[in-house]
Amino acid sequence: MNNSLKIGIVAGLIAGIFASIILSIILVGFDLTGPQNPYAFSGLPLRFTSIIEIVIAEIILGVIWGILLGVIYSRFYDLIPGKKISKGLIFGLLYYSIYIIRTGMLILFYGWILFAFSFFLIGFLPWIVYGLAIGILYEFMSNRYHVIKDKRPIKTHPIMSGFFPGAIAGCIYGIMAFFGNLLMGILGIWAWIPNYLTDIVFLIDQLGTHVFFNLIWGGIFGMLFAFFYERIPGRNISKSLIFSMVIFSITSFRVGIYYLVYGSFPGFFGWVFFGFFAFIPYGLVLGYLYKPKK
């Protein structure tokens, strides 16, 4: 394990703790066990009954994904826009966008307006803190342990070159996500939603929502794929599969674990199980369609 990766892990871990503490302080501003709990807007049957339990859960989640993001930060450090600490801030804002904004948009499309906007607001400051913390810590430890940063020029690709391949792959993702939800309805997991399988208008709306939503975000992920292409491990389609699994891990998988921790198995099953099987064809189609200029 090289020093840059070690520093990324340690910086990400500490930054994750800082972000979780800030998030916990914000959540304490709400009555976490009462009707104003922002998490209750999602319809979650809360597993926890005290603030302390929720704070512990948030810190554990923050540490896990803080480390994972620290690894990603160290891997793509020189491609992240900005200089020194500003790189960390931009990284934090980027993750806020693809995790908080993306998840909140889907929640909004399903009509949970209050929960969606609380998600947008509550998630902003912690990820600003995470970005600043990892930026400061990574620079400090790099200087402290004399890490030689790779300053060799690296070939980049036009960011827009990945949009249309990503958007097309995103449509496939949306169709897969819809059929995943349909299967959950057949299995009775969505039994708490009245007339789920017989409400044809709702099913058509749900299909359109998932295709449109993932067309947008598939295109955005495609642009990120093009931008970071040369640093992603693998070759050709294996690059896009690795990329799609990383995006899955820091977006849908994280949301699924959040649902599981707070007591909702259907939410976990939908985001993780079907998210995984939707991201695979996304990665395959993206890799097949994207042709970087040599």
What pLDDT, on the 0 to 100 scale, is given for residue 30? 61
Examine the domain organization and report whether 188 and 116 are in the same domain.
Answer: no
Examine the domain organization and report whether 137 and 167 are in the same domain.
Answer: no
Examine the domain organization and report whether 172 and 132 are in the same domain.
Answer: no
Examine the domain organization and report whether 105 and 12 are in the same domain.
Answer: yes
Tell whether the model's pLDDT for residue 250 goes beyond 50: yes
Examine the domain organization and report whether 192 and 99 are in the same domain.
Answer: no
**Among 124, 126, 140, 111, which Cα is nearest to 16's?**
126
List for the chain the helix, strand, coil content (%; round to 5): 75, 0, 25
End position of a domain, from candidates 116, 144, 172: 144
294 part of a folded domain: no
Examine the domain organization and report whether 124 and 219 are in the same domain.
Answer: no
What pLDDT, on the 0 to 100 scale, is given for residue 199? 72
- Distance (Å, rounded) from C-alpha 243 to C-alpha 231? 10
Mean pLDDT of the 174-181 span: 87
Mean pLDDT of the 189-193 span: 61
Confidence band for 179, pLDDT divided at 50, 70 and 90:
confident
Examine the domain organization and report whether 120 and 182 are in the same domain.
Answer: no
Beta-carbon contacts of 45 under 8 Å, excluding residues fewer than 6 positions away, are 263, 264
253 part of a folded domain: yes
- Distance (Å, rounded) from C-alpha 88 to C-alpha 265? 34
Top pLDDT among 232 and 51 is at 232
151 part of a folded domain: no
* pLDDT, tens digit, 9 for 90 and up, residues 198-221: 677 778 888 888 999 999 999 999
Examine the domain organization and report whether 92 and 172 are in the same domain.
Answer: no
Examine the domain organization and report whether 60 and 165 are in the same domain.
Answer: no
Examine the domain organization and report whether 165 and 132 are in the same domain.
Answer: no
150 part of a folded domain: no
Total number of domains in the chain? 2
61 part of a folded domain: yes
- Distance (Å, rounded) from C-alpha 265 to C-alpha 257? 9
Confidence band for 83, pLDDT divided at 50, 70 and 90:
confident
Top pLDDT among 284 and 41 is at 284
End position of a domain, from candidates 86, 115, 144: 144
* pLDDT, tens digit, 9 for 90 and up, residues 140-174: 998 887 776 656 567 778 899 999 999 999 999 99
Examine the domain organization and report whether 163 and 56 are in the same domain.
Answer: no
154 part of a folded domain: no
Cβ-contact 8, 71 below 8 angstroms: yes
pTM: 0.88
Q: Write down the mean pLDDT value for the chain.
A: 85
| Domain extent for 256 | 159-289
End position of a domain, from candidates 84, 112, 144: 144
Confidence band for 185, pLDDT divided at 50, 70 and 90:
confident
Tell whether the model's pLDDT for residue 18 goes beyond 90: yes
Examine the domain organization and report whether 98 and 123 are in the same domain.
Answer: yes
- Distance (Å, rounded) from C-alpha 56 to C-alpha 193? 32
What pLDDT, on the 0 to 100 scale, is given for residue 17? 95
12 part of a folded domain: yes
Top pLDDT among 84 and 226 is at 226
Structural tokens at position 172: 């496939």
7 part of a folded domain: yes
